[in-house]
Chain A
Amino acid sequence: MNDVWQSDWSLMTPEWIVLAVAVVLLLIDVAMPDERSRRPLAWGAALGAVLALGATAALIPAEPASILHGTFRLDSFAKAFKLLLLAGGALALLIVAGWNPKEGSRYGGEFAYLLLFALLGAMMTASSGDLLTLFVSVELLTVSSYILAGLRKTVAASNEAALKYVINGGIATAVMLFGMSYVFGLTGTTNLNEIARRLQETNEPYMLALAFLLLLIGVSFKLAAVPFHMWAPDVYEGAPVPATAFFAVVSKTAGFVLLLRLLVTMFAAAPAEGRDPSSLLLSMQPAIAVLAGLTMIIGSVVALRQRSLKRLLAYSSIAHAGYLLAGFAAMSWAMIDSLWIYLLAYLLMNMGAFAIVSHIVDETGSDDWDGLTGLYRHRPLLAAALGLFLLSLAGIPGTAGFIAKLHLFIGLVVTEPGHYVLAAVMAITTVISYVYYFNLIVQLFFRPLFSSAPLGRMSAGLSAAVVLCALGTLALGWAPGLAYNVLAQFDHFGDFLP
């Protein structure tokens, strides 16, 4: 037991900060009189996330290490993705700080610290080196998310969203756990690196392929990849907007972290049936490619028919998950780098868009896109910012979305053999997505004002989120070197695999 005391607990500094802030906020919330506004708590939570972000950045030079018998790993992968998760969490908390729903909220405090607990789960997922910690941290994230989805207790849609999320999430968890049980049965250990080592010695291609597919299906539910996406639009629509932003960005990032940690670590070197291809992961590429292709096509085609802004962004996020899955299916040597860049760009443009949608939903009481019509006439800056995020989501040059998509696209065609079909699907669905993004831009800039009452002033939290996201989107679009410099510190994630 002595080694537990002598572990280098400083590796967990960001997690400790998030946990401590969440617990302190809970105590403050409980001690506060009921009628006081909970908005300062959201600001405190955002501050905590920023502190943890700083702590993670300070840990970047640290050597890769693991504590607690290899269950907690701090390698370059964990550091890089924790930066994304914490940045996304901080922006989501800024949106929470600016959240002002029509029906009023008695649960602003819960919102802030449940979001922090969910963030903690996502961070632990990035650092897990063991099936058990991986599972527990994913559950911490999802169980907190279920409650976040249902926080508008008096609104029927929110209750429906929470229920659908619980049921679908429960099924996903069960399927994933079943897959894990096969892996454990074949190797007799839960440590990921140890599993990877022992799987090289086993000769169970069919059993392993079954385990792989079960895990892939379980994770696809969490990523809302087609055909396991049916819950996403309803949950995104019913949940409060800051929670939707959190699900779309942080939960999705955590889903990809889970995908990489689970499938790549365990199966990259596992033997497959026959001699060629040599690895189970590579032999499963077609399954992932089909999933990616379907997700891109269905996500962008169904988005064409949406008038609700939240549903539209939900389907758009499904399409983006498809692009990311295509990048994963390519398995080029720079796969993790390009996924990281895409998730960074996705974080900036989506958080910005959700911040503005949150303002519109709070002011007009509905999320129909009429709320946007003619916005340029009386709020030109806001319209310009939303226009920028939409251009970035569409992947127009000069924005972050373009650079990120370019990376995924190059990854698809430079591998040997190239994934030309997936690349073509990606190009075509990108063009389809122009239709609905540009439709919104037409609504914003070229239509007369629809509603008579002009929108009120934006709260400080929302404005801060919009400004940060807009600056980031532009910076990454014009000077992608900024992101490359950060990535260069991780050296192509060489220490990801044992």
Chain B
Amino acid sequence: MSNIYANSYAIVFVFLCLGVLLPVGALTLGRWLRPHVPSEAKETTYESGNNPFHDSRIQFQVRYYLFALLFVIFDVETVFFYPWAVVYDQLGLFAFVEMVLFITLLALGLIYAWKKKVLRWM
């Protein structure tokens, strides 16, 4: 038991070492192998082919954060719904009741957000 447990952690340790060493090794190796000829065009920010236009440090609308939060909640809801729907026949009534409770709680949250004017773009 002890051996299995400790050995499993040895594998984790090996992966940790690999994870640290691989990028370090690859980047160092690349540095030695590649030619080093800098030019102005090469030093611009990579934007998938577009020319970068203004400073990247701009203020984002903080409102997006609330939408993101709501999105995550309903995204997770869907994630819970799929497996439940797939095995619905075997789970029976109790799982149905549980899901109704779950949706009710989420609906309460939505009502709260709605009344607190989170959904309104101001």
Contact = CB atoms under 8 A, between A and B. Distances in A.
B94 A5 contact: yes
Interface string B73-115: 0000000000000000001111100000000000010011001
Contacts of A186: 1, 5
A202 B1 contact: yes
Contacts of A31: 115
A23 B104 CA distance: 11
Interface residues of A, number: 14
B28 interface: no
B112 A30 contact: yes
A207 B2 contact: yes
B94 A185 contact: no
Nearest to A206: B2
A204 B5 CA distance: 10
Contacts of A453: none
A30 B111 contact: yes
A251 B92 CA distance: 38
Nearest to B104: A23
B94 A4 contact: yes
Given A185-B5, A186-B5, A1 B94 contact: yes
Contacts of A204: 1-2, 5
Contacts of B5: 185-186, 204, 207
Given A26-B112, A30-B115, A1 B92 contact: yes
A27 interface: yes
A323 B49 CA distance: 66
A207 B116 CA distance: 49
Contacts of A5: 94
Interface string A169-204: 000000000000000011000000000000000111
Interface string A429-469: 00000000000000000000000000000000000000000
Contacts of A185: 5
Interface string A20-50: 0001001100110000000000000000000
A349 to B, nearest CB: 36
B42 to A, nearest CB: 40
A203 B2 CA distance: 8
Nearest to B92: A1
B103 to A, nearest CB: 14
A202 B93 CA distance: 40
Nearest to A31: B115
A185 B108 CA distance: 37
A27 B107 CA distance: 11
Interface in A364-389: none
Nearest to B8: A185
Contacts of B108: 23, 26-27
Interface in A132-186: 185-186
Nearest to A204: B2
Nearest to B95: A1
A72 B112 CA distance: 30
Contacts of B2: 203-204, 207
B45 to A, nearest CB: 32
List 4 tightest A-B contacts by C-beta distance, closest first: A30-B115, A1-B94, A4-B94, A1-B92
Interface of A: 1, 4-5, 23, 26-27, 30-31, 185-186, 202-204, 207
25 contacts: A1-B91, A1-B92, A1-B93, A1-B94, A1-B95, A5-B94, A23-B108, A26-B108, A26-B112, A27-B108, A27-B111, A30-B111, A30-B112, A30-B116, A31-B115, A185-B5, A186-B1, A186-B5, A202-B1, A203-B2, A204-B1, A204-B2, A204-B5, A207-B2, A207-B5
Interface of B: 1-2, 5, 91-95, 108, 111-112, 115-116
